[in-house]
Amino acid sequence: MLFHTLFVVSVFLSWEVVWNSPQRDDDDTPWGEEFKRYGWYMLLGLVWSGGMAKLDLRFLWWLSPIVFSLILSPSRCCRAVRRWT
């Protein structure tokens, strides 16, 4: 969702936008590439959840679907592209 938001904001700000077709072969995505792409989202989830835990732990549980999704995004994407045979 954050990728698409960034894409739309970039279009509105008249930045150069390149939307390449994804790779279509059987190659697995390396963990390093996933952390390079989604590491900032994971860091955002960690900082956000840490801040909410410090303010009010009950509020963190309410936000848990969002922050845990951000924290787990690199591992989820790597597992999604791998074949489970």
Where residue 57 falls among pLDDT bands split at 50, 70, 90?
confident
49 found inside a domain:
yes
Cβ-based neighbour number of residue 10 at 10 Å? 13
Mean pLDDT of 21-38: 72
pLDDT at 85: 41
76 found inside a domain:
yes
Mean pLDDT of 52-77: 86
35 found inside a domain:
yes
Mean pLDDT of 6-34: 73
Report the domain count for the chain. 1
Pick 65 or 21 by higher pLDDT.
65
pLDDT at 47: 94
68 found inside a domain:
yes
Range of the domain at 73: 30-85
46 found inside a domain:
yes
7 found inside a domain:
no
55 found inside a domain:
yes
Alpha helices in 1-85 (DSSP H): 2-12, 31-55, 57-71, 73-81
